Structure 1
Amino acid sequence: MRKLNIPLRQYAALLSAYLRPQWKSITLLLLLLLLSIGMQLINPQIIRSFIDMAKEQADSTKLIYAAVLFIGVSLLYQAIMLAATYLGENIGWIATNKLRGDVAEHCLRLDMSFHKAHTSGSLIERVDGDINALANFFSKLVVTLLSNLVLVAGIIILLFREGWEIGLGMLVFTVFAIWSIQYIRRYASPFWGKMRQISADFYGFLGEQLDGTEDVRANGASGFVLSRFDDLLRKWLPIRIRAFFGFAAMWITTIVVFAMGNAMAFAVSAYLWKKGSLTIGAVYMIFYYTELLAKPIEQIRTQMEDLQKADASITRIKELLELRPAVTDGRGTSIPAGPVRVKFDRMTFGYEPGSVTLDSIHFELKPGESLGVLGRTGSGKSTLARLLLRFYDPASGGIYLNGVNIRDAKLAELRRSVGMVTQQIELFQGTVRDNLTFFDESIPDSRIIGVLEELGMGEWLHSMPLGLDSPLESSGGGLSAGEAQLMAFARVFLMDPGLVILDEASSRLDPATEQRIESAISKLLRNRTSIIIAHRLATVQRVDQILVLDNGRVVEYGERSRLAADRHTRFSGILEKGLEETPA
């Protein structure tokens, strides 16, 4: 059976990165735990004195003092542990949230090929589920583990003071107990790793199906979805059972080992008491220390259990953080402002290694010109747009904006220079303002309102109860398809880019809504370079150039008026058929 073997330096690196900023709180937590250790070591000594004084029929005043001292130390211990627990949870919460933020930010920086290969549900499980499994790792594990080891060492030292026989016996018991627990943990760990993986698969599947509820119901696929749901649960159950047996094995081992420890303590204490080496108070103290010894060992067992759960999570998070995007930020060459000159220079691209989605694409679009892109579904029209935004990088050739290779530009500047409206509009849970500006507070409300009125959405905005502060539901719930599309146009207006890409942007609009925004689109494209990926032929009547794609290759490119007039061109044939699809 394969064992998870993560070097300690990886644990240390993770702890150092996320706990170092809280070193003051951690120092205070360590001091509180050391105080609690001192309290736990003192109380058995008080009980010993009380028993011995009672046996010798000492003054009752001394017995009262001893009892009050014992109660006072016990109460103080509880207060210290309450403060330590609060502080530890706070440290863990801060560290966990920082790690969660870093992982989420890293996922957002990864390129589209990564997001195509991973469902949103599996990423949520990574960002939330795996990191939740590390909450105890950050809040208590290391500090508490160290304090428990100190407590164990203190107990053994005090037992050696009573007699080398009892000290040696308890030392052997402690080493054997920790070794036994660690031995069992090594065989239980892999199942927790499988648990985290099947959990990610399940929630990835669940998130995907919930997103597609309408399509599932409309196509009568509910039975298939439930069947896949059952299949995943069937795979999950045996892994969960094995993981539980791993936990049970550690729990049973602990009980057996503690019983052996108590037996050893009784045997050695009885032997020393018969020899006259121990008093009755000392015998009880040894038994108390043995019981107390079980507590840190039990906590070590629990922490080892948490560690075995964290093993898989740390591995998966580490693997995720080690992923590097294929699309990296450029060195910072600036793209000149204004209408953009677009050039594709013998550009070839494939989504998979060895595949070709776009082959030797070569054309140039002058500043202020507009290009209509036509082609069959799957011919590469949308891929062309994604490459301009550097969602992917070409395998060969280059893409230039105003003479600058987009690989050399900063991604943030590139995406400020290129605005795109797609067929699928994503709206987020937030206010109207947030959805339009993406939390850019530098955009004044007057400009936002002006853009909405220009798009014919002024009446809609006035109907919203809180205006720009009105909340919108996730995925545009409560908005019509036309209103959501107009919101997307408003976003591009506010960006004021030099290049605008409309990727079948009007395909979801009814003719009345489309006609309503025609003038707004004309204003948007004025003094800007534009690329219009067509779904309706009416949308390319405004363009200067036409580019026809077929199987990832340019089969026709030229001025729209010239291509339309030539009956032998593909574009002319498309106009006759009234479709954007290229002929076979």
Structure 2
Amino acid sequence: MVHDRGIGTVSETGQKRKIPIREYVDLLKRYLKTQRRGIVALAVLLLVGIGMQLVNPQIIRYFIDTAQSQESTSPLLYAAGLFIGVTLLQQVVSVIAAYIGENIGWIATNQLRGDVAAHCMKLDMGFHKSQTSGVIIERVDGDINNLANFFSNFVITLLSNLLLVAGMLVLLFRENWLIGTGMLLFVIFAMYAIQYVRQFAVPHWGKLRQISAAFYGFLGEHLEGTEDTRANGATGYVMHRFHRLLREWLPLRMRAFFGWASMWITTLLVFAIGNAVAIAISYYLWHKGLITIGTVYMIFYYTELMAKPIEKIRTQMEDLQKADASIVRVRELLQTESEIKDGPGVPIPAGALPVQFEGVRFAYDDARSTLEQISFRLEPGQVLGLLGRTGSGKTTLARLLLRFYDPQEGSIRLGGTELHEAKLHELRSRVGMVTQNIEIFQGTVRDNLTFFDDSIGDERIMQVLSELGLETWVDSLPNGLGTMLESGGGGLSAGEAQLLSFARVFLSDPGLVILDEASSRLDPATEQRIELAISRLLHNRTCIIIAHRLATIQRADCILILDNGRIAEYGERTRLGADADSRYSQMLRLGMEEMLV
């Protein structure tokens, strides 16, 4: 068993853990290595500030002792001017150091935030199905915000304040061993007392972050679905859950606050004890004639000044206790591995792609198999009509082709390449999918069509829109392709949003196109326009059409009917239509919509 010295923290389960010191060091190295100049400048400024803080009490002592022993005012004026100059310079240095520190923290946290966001984008659908968007946002943004001070100046500020305390102790020992010893014991006692109280406050911050993520996840989910919530009279239930989460949040927030308050009160009491010790020892030494009045004031000044670095050390430790919980949560997120591993990079050929399933079995989690022993082959350029009742596995089959999930058994080939051997980005660029639910992002029409890819020119965009019959619609917009669209598609009809999704897919020039109930939201006129466009755009492309309506699959070369995750029927559309005993033939006679209810 390996024992590693670490700092206590709390995981999402509320259990106390130890974060090895090396993890803090590795985190700082990784995200601060590009800012060495800023860190060096910050360290120099803080050292200069320490020097000026140590010098000022010496100037005051000189001023007081000189005022008592000399009649000339010149030395006093020089001392006063020097004190004012050093104080002003110290403030300038503090402002510059604060600016540099904040800049360092902002850059480092943004880099970490980018890494965490990119990692979340790479995780498989199983992860995203198990987490609400609000929880993910809280972990990507809220937890990392808590690390801003940790990155900006935690180590440097902690070391500089320790150095400041050490410098004051050295100067006090130079004056008299008794006052030096007294203040040294006071510092040791103060550090111990603050650290002792801190251990009772630490556990509550991890729980607080957890309930915060749960609350914002719940809030985001129901704000997105506010129309359904109100339409179905579920507002009362949502508000009940809202208040229940707040009731759970409040006691955790209070415990965390009391933990912070206990540290603050402890600090005040410790400082009061320190002042009492300094005054008592100073009076004793002055009464014995061992020190001057100026030295008494200097000792008291140093004692008051010592409260500042100790308070900052306490604040740093408080920030660290917040960072502890966030570091654990960020680390756990970054250590979450996707079940979908990127392939070695076997290329997928250009043009229309053959599709082959061989003995594929797939189940979500440990549930009953959604697909069982699926085997078929679709030749390049062919169109497959995929039919089946709701829940028969049609959409799941399409998700497997995009490697949103991997089958538990069997293999899937696209263009002769095993899916798990291809790079994910190449695979998904060669497979285009249009679904019933269309995501419209806040951005221009151009951005929504190209997914913010500036390399796709307007000429190519207009060519695709023209083939889809959307050029008149784009020309009617106030700024054409530059017209801003609202998030969620506000201002667009269902047909226009669906047509934009078609344009997105065909701009990527895929070799396989999957239409998942793609015409289900279209009115007859719009559906007719899109049927004409599909005929042109499917040239030299393989296509899988998932549909409930017969009109949608009239162009299909083959028909595959799924029933409870198994292939109930597969063959050429014309042959199955001519076979009176086939399921497809029965659909033609009785109506596909009735048979698939």
TM range (shorter): over 0.9
Q: Is the 8 A contact 2:548 2:596 kept in 1?
A: no
Q: Which amino acid aligns with 1:366?
A: E
Which residue number corresponds to residue 493 of structure 1?
506
- Equivalent positions of 1:59-208 (< 5 A) are 59-208=72-221
Further displaced range: 345-354 or 388-397: 345-354
Aligned to 2:577: 564
**Match of residue 47 from structure 2:** 34
Contact 2:388 2:596 in 1 (8 A): no
> 2:23 maps to which residue?
10
Do the aligned partners of 1:419 and 1:499 also contact (CA within 8 Å) in 2? yes
Q: Distance in 2 between matches of 1:429 and 1:305?
A: 39
Q: How big is each residue's C-alpha offset from its partner over 1:81-115, in whole Å with a ceiling of 9 and x where there is no partner?
A: 01101111111111111111111111111111111
Aligned residue pairs total 584
> Does the Cα contact within 8 Å between 2:31 and 2:108 map onto a contact in 1?
yes
Structure 1 position 528 matched with structure 2 position 554 = no
Matched-pair contact (CA < 8 Å) for 1:177–1:254: yes
Establish whether residue 271 from structure 1 lines up as the match of residue 261 from structure 2: no
Q: Helix, strand or coil: the match of 2:373?
A: strand
Q: For 1:582 and 1:547, how far apart are their aligned partners in 2?
A: 15
1:216-231 to 2 correspondences below 5 Å:
216-231=229-244
* Deviations 1:48-79, CA, capped at 9 Å, x for gaps: 11111112134211011111110000000001
The answer to whether residue 315 in structure 2 is matched with residue 302 in structure 1 is yes
1:53 corresponds in structure 2 to 66
Q: Matched residues in 1 for 2:187 and 2:590: separation?
A: 86
C-alpha distance in 2 between matches for 1:215 and 1:383? 25
Secondary structure (helix, strand or coil) at the match of 1:6 reads strand
Aligned to 1:386: 399
- In structure 1, what is the Cα distance between the partners aligned to 2:430 and 2:595? 31
Q: Are 1:255 and 2:263 an aligned pair?
A: no
Secondary structure of 2:570's counterpart equals: strand
Supply the AA of the counterpart residue of 1:296. P
Equivalent residues of 1:120, 1:207 under 8 A apart: yes
Report deviation, 1:442: 2.3
Aligned-residue identity in percent: 66
CA contact (8 A) 1:339 1:368 kept: yes
Query: Compared with structure 1, are the counterparts of its residues 193 and 581 closer, same or farther at alpha carbon in structure 2 (3 Å cutoff)?
Result: farther
- Give the Å deviation of 1:573: 2.4
Provide the rounded CA distance (Å) in 2 between the counterparts of 1:94 and 1:20.
11
Partners of 1:507 and 1:293 lie apart in 2 by: 73
1:283 alignment partner in structure 2: 296
Output the CA distance in 1 between the equivalents of 2:596 and 2:497.
33
- Per-residue deviation, residues 109-155 of structure 1 (Å, max 9, x unmatched): 11111111111111110111111111111112111111111101101
Displacement of 1:440: 2.2
Moved more, 111-120 or 434-443: 434-443
**Structure 2 spans left out of the alignment, 5+ residues:** 1-13
- Residue 124 of structure 2 contacts residue 338 of structure 2 at CA under 8 Å; is this kept in 1? yes
Q: Residue 17 of structure 1 aligns to which amino acid in structure 2?
A: R
Equivalent pair of 1:532/1:540 in contact (CA under 8 Å) = yes
Segment drifting more, 75-84 vs 6-15: 6-15
Give the equivalent residue in structure 1 for 2:454. 441
Q: Is the 8 A contact 2:560 2:571 kept in 1?
A: yes
Q: Whole-Å Cα distance in 2 between the matches of residues 454 and 527 of structure 1?
A: 16
Contact 1:262/1:287, CA 8 A, preserved across alignment? yes
Q: What is the distance in 2 between the residues matched to 1:262 and 1:511?
A: 86
Q: CA deviation at 1:395?
A: 0.6
The 3 A distance-change label for structure 1 pair 228 and 354 is: closer
- Measured against aligned partners, the alpha-carbon deviations of 1:323-380 in whole angstroms (never above 9, x if no partner) come to 1111111101011111111000101111103641111111011111111111111111
Q: 2:363 aligns with which of 323, 344, 350?
A: 350
Return the letter of the residue paired with 1:68.
G
1:412 and 1:208 mapped to 2: Cα distance? 29
In the alignment, residue 458 of structure 1 is paired with which amino acid? E
Give SS of 1:234's match.
helix
Any idea what the Cα deviations from partners look like across 1:509-532, whole Å, max 9, x if unmatched?
111110111110111222211100
Please report how far the alpha carbon of residue 194 of structure 1 lies from its aligned counterpart in structure 2 after TM superposition.
Answer: 0.6
| Cα deviation, residue 4, structure 1 | 4.3
SS at structure 2 position matched to 1:359: strand
Contact 1:348 1:359 in 2 (8 A): yes
SS at match of 1:474: coil
Letter in 2 for 1:451: V
Query: CA–CA distance in 2 between the matches of 1:523 and 1:27?
Result: 63
Give CA deviations for 1:386-415 in whole Å, capped at 9, x if unaligned.
100011111111000121101001111111
For 1:417, give the aligned amino acid.
R
TM-score (norm 2): 0.96
Secondary structure of 2:95's match? Answer: helix
For the residues of structure 2 that align with 1:580 and 1:152, how far apart are their CA atoms?
Answer: 81
Give the alignment of 1:539-554 within 5 angstroms: 539-554=552-567
The equivalent residue for 1:339 is 352
SS of residue in 2 equivalent to 1:393: coil
Partner of 1:482: 495
SS at match of 1:5: strand
| Aligned counterparts of 1:315 and 1:335: Cα–Cα separation in 2 | 40
Match of 2:7 in 1: none
Distance 1:187 1:4, change over 3 A: farther
Task: Report the equivalent of 1:459.
Answer: 472
The 4+ residue runs of structure 1 with deviation greater than 6 A are none
Shift in Å, 1:443:
1.8
| Residue in 1 that maps onto 2:378 | 365
Do 1:345 and 1:398's aligned partners in 2 also have CA atoms closer than 8 Å? yes
Q: CA deviation at 1:533?
A: 0.6
1:481-506 Cα shifts (integer Å, max 9, x gaps): 11000001101221111111000011
**Structure 2 residue aligned with 1:421, among 434, 454, 461?**
434
Q: Contact 2:387/2:546 (CA < 8 Å) preserved in 1? A: yes
The Cα offsets for residues 419-459 of structure 1, whole Å up to 9 and x where unpaired, read as 11011111111111111112222222111011112111111
CA distance in 1, matches of 2:571, 2:593: 16
RMSD (Å), alpha carbons: 1.3
How far off is 1:264 after superposition? 0.7
1:190-245 superposed Cα distances (whole Å, 9 cap, x missing partner):
11101111000000001100110111111111111111111110110110010001
Q: 1:2 to 1:516 in 2, by over 3 A?
A: closer
- Are the equivalent residues in 2 in contact too, given 1:429–1:472 (CA < 8 A)? yes
